[in-house]
Chains A and B, each alone.
Chain A
């Protein structure tokens, strides 16, 4: 895999910076992909040499055409295949024979059309491996590189986008054309623009690593439809952020969870694919966006302006209402209004009319022209408490929109603090908005979007970029003992491992198990109770019973030998009445825990991201309140702490309204141990600890109940 990674990185360099390109399968028919790809390359003024390869044409657009790629007398760096899928393998084979290592396969008709297409795709991969080639696609729009030394538009997009510092990756080709059109209208430029289609060979992970090292790219955007290697994507994202500091913004479509199946555990029913994706992205430092507009609103803030040093902003407005709206939007997104120094206040007092508001938000008044805006913006930039400036403008009759926009672009030059603008309206402000966009001042129709973008940049730089991903040392783990217990539990082919055996396995990983054991008679149950001390809990143990309380198989708070014996009989009668076919192995007798908070911990294995940990408020209402959070194993201590802090349960655990603070360290410890268990035993599909009784700070926690779903196919 390592060798393949290096091969792809090397071949990607030639995909983006070829000296010569062969368009294999092109033709003269305007409006067709084979023609328009060649046309796009020529129109973009590609700096290298172009070789049309067409079985029937002697020349296309005045350029000599070759029947086969093998007929080209010179070396070729990049081949773009535009033949139908039925013959692309023949073209690829010839590319291999020609010594071409870098290929883009535009054509559709592969995996996306079913089994026959999948076989064709596998054939392409085999040929690529045979000749050490790498390819993007198939089923893609192509690749664009706006670098002046290359100017490659190897796509059937209508036009080459403006040059910029945003790298865009997309699994959908059609979306790419819409994005390019959207971006062109807003003067948003790109460094690289890549549609990777079916990602049969080069994937989004390879491309992330490539863009990490690409000096032209400052921000990475991605549209994904399926995460086929979630673990690899998370690692790549962390590497990119840690090593280059570049933010990654992703739209992952498919937020709804129609496919969720009924699950046997709480963790299973609480863990949707999209929640896992959210948690994984957050953990990796990826900023997930809901739509194109949100993505670009944030992207331009990252791409155009310096990062803010704090969350404190100054708002400069020519209207009171929009100033209040922006203030509300800022505060509700975790930003703060900067407190101006006395010096700033005096400057504003001198520069603005007496009716102006010289506090933050600064109201330069409706009749303000550019001079007032400039004075207020400069004063804000110079104030030590201000980390960023928001310029709000409404188009009043005396507002010189164009001049103000032009002056904003001038004053922003060379500043170390970011400036964003919201020229509110549409038609009248259009001329100003266009100027701002041309000069890379992030502009937002809504102040809310502006504040969200600022917060995203601030949050990324303050938190995500600096997040530590070191894995903690965990002692007291006996993997061999756990393996022995697991093998024993799985020996009869079960997929459901009941409480007693699950708890034994958890004990071998140092999790806090309750005092007690399995009793096989009423007298035995009394003996256990005497041994561990009253009060105790009795619980039915049966391979056939998953939800014990539903068959009235649990009795709490038993404080004497008589109470234990009575409970023994009642549980047996209850189970017999509701599940007569169930085989009872005995009753589990454990010490009753009082004075604690109940939480749930769990494991769920995701096909893409691997083992996922769950934390939440526990008890019988867990599925109603759904106050849960997720983390992908392996967990760092910081991520485990973050899982607790992001729930409402955190407030309760801290000690709400005079209640004692609970032992949160013991929860973190349990999460880390569960994470290790999930990694060590891939056969664990789902695991519930519900409840975990969390005692007062320093007192630890105790497992109240646990069960496990395993698969025997791993």
Chain B
């Protein structure tokens, strides 16, 4: 899958989980510092990515991913 497509879909998931306008989400946005995700929402984001891309990620590694760019690269390993 093309990384641009992953990026678009990742932003869609983030927008949906954090209830943020996806146009306000920059490519390097940090889930916590820039987007205000709390620990529960971090778990919800991982679940959202798994559902969106129909993949099963390593939970511990997935929770260490801190920003959009890294999430795209991490998901690219699975799709």
Contacts of B35 in A (CB 8 A): 55-56
Q: Which residue of chain A has the shortest Cβ distance to B19 in the bound complex? A: A56
Interface stretch among B8-16, B26-34, B46-54, B71-79? B26-34
Q: Measured between alpha carbons, how far is A90 from B29 in the docked complex, in Å? A: 12
Beta-carbon contact of A87 and B36 below 8 Å? no
The answer to the question of B18 belonging to the interface, with a C-beta cut-off of 8 Å to chain A, is yes
With A27-B38, A56-B36, A57-B36 known to touch, is A90 a contact of B30 (CB < 8 Å)?
A: yes
Q: Measured between alpha carbons, how far is A55 from B32 in the docked complex, in Å? A: 8
Beta-carbon contact of A84 and B36 below 8 Å? no
Beta-carbon contact of B32 and A86 below 8 Å? yes
Beta-carbon contact of A87 and B32 below 8 Å? yes
Contacts of A57 in B (CB 8 A): 36
Count of B interface residues, CB-CB < 8 Å? 11
Contacts of A67 in B (CB 8 A): 34
Contacts of B32 in A (CB 8 A): 55, 83-84, 86-87
Q: Measured between alpha carbons, how far is A296 from B20 in the docked complex, in Å? A: 51
Contacts of A251 in B (CB 8 A): none
Contacts of A280 in B (CB 8 A): none
Main secondary structure of the interface of B (DSSP, over half): loop
The answer to the question of A54 belonging to the interface, with a C-beta cut-off of 8 Å to chain B, is yes
Contacts of B34 in A (CB 8 A): 55, 67
Beta-carbon contact of B20 and A56 below 8 Å? yes
Q: Which residue of chain A has the shortest Cβ distance to B30 in the bound complex? A: A87
Beta-carbon contact of B18 and A84 below 8 Å? no
Distance between B40 CB and nearest chain A CB, rounded to angstroms: 10
Beta-carbon contact of B36 and A91 below 8 Å? no
Beta-carbon contact of A91 and B18 below 8 Å? no
Beta-carbon contact of B33 and A29 below 8 Å? no
The answer to the question of B59 belonging to the interface, with a C-beta cut-off of 8 Å to chain A, is no
Q: Measured between alpha carbons, how far is A67 from B39 in the docked complex, in Å? A: 19
With A86-B66, A87-B66 known to touch, is A55 a contact of B38 (CB < 8 Å)?
A: no
Q: Which residue of chain B has the shortest Cβ distance to A32 in the bound complex? A: B38
A-B interface contact total, Cβ < 8 Å: 28
Contacts of A27 in B (CB 8 A): 36, 38
Contacts of B18 in A (CB 8 A): 56
Beta-carbon contact of A84 and B39 below 8 Å? yes
Q: Measured between alpha carbons, how far is A67 from B29 in the docked complex, in Å? A: 13
Q: Measured between alpha carbons, how far is A479 from B5 in the docked complex, in Å? A: 76
Interface 0/1 of A46-76, CB less than 8 Å to B:
0000000011110000000001000000000
Q: Measured between alpha carbons, how far is A389 from B30 in the docked complex, in Å? A: 65
Count of A interface residues, CB-CB < 8 Å? 13
Beta-carbon contact of B36 and A54 below 8 Å? yes
Beta-carbon contact of B30 and A29 below 8 Å? no
Distance between A12 CB and nearest chain B CB, rounded to angstroms: 27
Contacts of B38 in A (CB 8 A): 27, 29
Contacts of A83 in B (CB 8 A): 32-33
Which of the listed residues B20, B30, B32, B39 has the most CB atoms from chain A within 10 Å of its own CB?
A: B32
Contacts of A84 in B (CB 8 A): 32, 39
Q: Measured between alpha carbons, how far is A558 from B8 in the docked complex, in Å? A: 98
Which of the listed residues B18, B36, B39 has the most CB atoms from chain A within 10 Å of its own CB?
A: B36
Interface 0/1 of A86-114, CB less than 8 Å to B:
11001100000000000000000000000
Q: Measured between alpha carbons, how far is A83 from B38 in the docked complex, in Å? A: 9
Q: Measured between alpha carbons, how far is A56 from B36 in the docked complex, in Å? A: 5
Q: Measured between alpha carbons, how far is A54 from B32 in the docked complex, in Å? A: 10
Distance between A339 CB and nearest chain B CB, rounded to angstroms: 69
Q: Measured between alpha carbons, how far is A84 from B38 in the docked complex, in Å? A: 9
Q: Which residue of chain B has the shortest Cβ distance to A87 in the bound complex? A: B33
Q: Measured between alpha carbons, how far is A54 from B34 in the docked complex, in Å? A: 9
Q: Measured between alpha carbons, how far is A54 from B35 in the docked complex, in Å? A: 9
Q: Measured between alpha carbons, how far is A57 from B38 in the docked complex, in Å? A: 13
Q: Which residue of chain A has the shortest Cβ distance to B34 in the bound complex? A: A55
Contacts of A90 in B (CB 8 A): 30, 33
Q: Which residue of chain A has the shortest Cβ distance to B35 in the bound complex? A: A55
Q: Which residue of chain B has the shortest Cβ distance to A57 in the bound complex? A: B36
Contacts of A54 in B (CB 8 A): 36
Q: Measured between alpha carbons, how far is A597 from B36 in the docked complex, in Å? A: 74
Beta-carbon contact of A55 and B66 below 8 Å? no
Q: Measured between alpha carbons, how far is A90 from B66 in the docked complex, in Å? A: 12
Contacts of A56 in B (CB 8 A): 18, 20, 35-36
Q: Which residue of chain A has the shortest Cβ distance to B41 in the bound complex? A: A56
Q: Measured between alpha carbons, how far is A29 from B36 in the docked complex, in Å? A: 12
Contacts of B20 in A (CB 8 A): 56
Distance between B11 CB and nearest chain A CB, rounded to angstroms: 16
Q: Measured between alpha carbons, how far is A520 from B32 in the docked complex, in Å? A: 77
Distance between A88 CB and nearest chain B CB, rounded to angstroms: 9
Q: Considering the complex, which residues of chain A in the window 22-41 have a beta carbon less than 8 Å from any beta carbon of chain B?
A: 27, 29
Given contacts A87-B32, A87-B66, A90-B30, 8 further A-B contacts (CB under 8 A): A27-B38, A54-B36, A55-B32, A55-B35, A56-B20, A83-B32, A87-B30, A91-B33
Binding site for B on A (CB under 8 A): 27, 29, 54-57, 67, 83-84, 86-87, 90-91
Nearest 4 Cβ contacts at the A-B interface: A56-B36, A55-B36, A87-B33, A87-B32
15 A/B residue pairs, CB under 8 Å, sorted by A: A29-B38, A55-B32, A55-B33, A55-B34, A55-B35, A55-B36, A56-B36, A57-B36, A83-B33, A84-B32, A84-B39, A87-B32, A87-B66, A90-B30, A91-B33
